[in-house]
Amino acid sequence: MLAIDQGTSATKAVVVADDGTVLGLAEAPLTVQATPDGGVETDPESMWASVLAAGKRAIADAGNPTLSAIGLGNQGETILAWDRATGAPHGPAIVWQDRRSAEVCNRLIDHGPRLAQITGLELDPYFVAPKMVWLRERVDRSLAVTTTDTWLLNRLCGAFVTDVATAGRTLLLDLESGQWSDDACSIFDIDASTLPRIAGNAIALGECTHFGGKVPVTGACVDQQAALFAEDCRSPGEAKCTYGTGAFMLACTGSTPTRSANGLVGCPAWMLGDELTWCLDGQVYTVGAAVGWLIEMGIMAEPADLDRVGGAVGDAAGVTFVPALAGLAAPYWKPQAKAAFTGMSLGTERGHLIRAAIDGIAAQVALLAIAAGRDLGSPLTRLRVDGGLTRSNTLLQVQADLLQCPVEVYPSPHATARGIAAFAAIGADTGANPGAWTPSAVVEPSISSEQAAERLAKWQAVADATMGH
């Protein structure tokens, strides 16, 4: 299977054997531009070029095998305007971190409770529909405005389709039925008939000729739900967190759609055949992005400094970092929140700032996990983790300490791609099982529950103060 993981800063392509072995791998970078007014954009044609380049290089790296299926993962909340007749994009893609649609959310704020009841989501610029409204007000009304997966799948195999997990990121999907909601669409003045068809995550969508021969496209999913599937979090209470550009904590709720009472969002995880599985979802917008910012500011030289410098100090010496560089998501939903370092003195060293950043990232994820436990009725008993920052032993230890449960490290940096490959294999009915795994490390808590609660309370007090509560 060729699994294409189209991400925020790069497209990764992985050729996966039937037993899950990675045969070939390639990555093509993608440039993202931030603007002073809260915009975050990328070039769609560069995105498409990265999909083709990564896919072809991964196939070559694997020795040019015959492909049985192709799957596509996507960023979830990134959108673009495009011409369905020609496939040509119009203007830049609006990336999931873009905050300019906050004005749309403010206009529709009275509809927030109704939208939460229908869709399971918060009315926030993070999700798709406010971005769609914002963009539609600035482009020709004849253009399609969709998530990037629909456009990419159209180019790959001619389909006008989105998968149910990606549709669940829009604020337009009925959480119970997994179909477009006419009520939600009417709130955003969107005609449901103009939206792409909703499909399951493992189903034939069309044939692709871009990678040699005719290969069926049989898997599609938003990135985080694909990682949840890959990490075998398929029973209620099983949870994972991916530490990428942002951090994304998802907890499976099984066959029960759950509307969070604790600041998370409920959404479809995947649909196999006619069977829907749901999950709870919480987000930290800037994690890898916060590390990148620390490097740009000269506080860190490279990500390895998380352990080399931040791990060399016993604690943050009273410094607290709230990494709200793109606002705060769950459980706060404060899109206008700003980042802050507090508690500094003449004795503050670079290591303390880096350690405070680690603590701030881990604190936000811990609060998401605690919220998920409350919604589920019992605390999480473990958290499975993946992503680039899991290379930091300091972060993993702090995370286990604040969670007060074991942290199990996924042994591959390709969780999303492996999930996509698994969906593609199921959709093509190949009989493959690319999902089996065992943790590469298990990190246990090293402090008491009382100490963990005290540290979280201190961080939360600073976060509340920075938001002006």
d(CA 333, CA 423): 32
SS3 51: helix
Q: Is the pLDDT of residue 469 over 60?
A: no
For residues 231 and 415, give the distance between their C-alpha atoms in angstroms, rounded to a whole number: 7
Average pLDDT of 446-466? 94
Convert the pLDDT of each residue in 2-12 to its tens digit: 999 999 999 99
For the chain, the farthest-separated pair of C-alpha atoms sits apart, in whole angstroms, at: 65
Provide the pLDDT for residue 20.
83
Q: What is the pTM (predicted TM-score) of this model? A: 0.93
Is residue 246 within 8 A of residue 283, CB to CB? The reply is yes
Q: Which of 26, 156, 9 is nearest to 417 (CA)?
A: 26
Residue 410 DSSP one-character state? -
Taking only Cα atoms into account, the Rg of the chain, rounded to an integer number of angstroms, comes to 21
Least confident of 88-92, 119-123, 335-339: 335-339
DSSP letter at 65 equals P
Q: Report the percentage of the chain scoring pLDDT > 70.
A: 99
Q: Which residue has the higher pLDDT, 319 or 467?
A: 319
Q: Are 3 and 16 in contact (CB under 8 A)?
A: yes
| Mean model confidence pLDDT for the chain | 95
User: Residue range 235-264: average pLDDT?
Assistant: 94
Q: What is the pLDDT of residue 446?
A: 97
**Rounded Cα–Cα distance for residues 289 and 302 (Å):** 13
Residue 435 has pLDDT above 70, yes or no: no
**What is residue 271's predicted lDDT score, i.e. its pLDDT?**
98
Q: Which amino acid is at 191?
A: D
Specify the higher pLDDT residue, 454 or 326.
454
| Predicted confidence band of residue 200 (pLDDT cuts 50, 70, 90) | very high
Judged against a pLDDT cut of 70, whether residue 348 lies above it is answered with yes
Whether 468 shows a pLDDT value over 70: the answer reads: no
Contacts of 300 (CB under 8 A, 6+ apart): 291, 294, 306, 309, 354
Mean pLDDT of 438-447: 97
Q: Classify domain 2-231+413-428 by CATH number.
A: 3.30.420.40
Strands 407-409 and 383-386: parallel
246 pLDDT band, cuts 50/70/90, is confident
pLDDT band at 336 (very low <50, low <70, confident <90, very high): confident
Structurally, at CATH architecture level, domain 283-409+439-466 sits in 2-Layer Sandwich (3.30)
How does DSSP assign 343-408, residue by residue?
S--TT--HHHHHHHHHHHHHHHHHHHHHHHHHHHTS--S-EEEESGGGG-HHHHHHHHHHHTS-EE
Q: Domain ranges for the chain, please list them.
A: 2-231+413-428, 283-409+439-466
Neighbouring residues of 127: CB distance < 8 A, sequence distance ≥ 6? 77, 121, 169, 170, 171
Mean pLDDT is lowest, of 214-228, 238-252, 299-313, 325-339, for 325-339
pLDDT at 65 over 90: yes
At 434 the pLDDT is 60
Who contacts 412 (Cβ-Cβ below 8 Å, separation ≥6)?
A: 22, 386, 418, 437
Chain centroid, CA 410 distance in Å: 16
Rounded CA separation 46/373 (Å):
41
Residue 254 reports pLDDT greater than 60:
yes
The closest of 68, 328, 366 to 219, measured between CA atoms, is 68
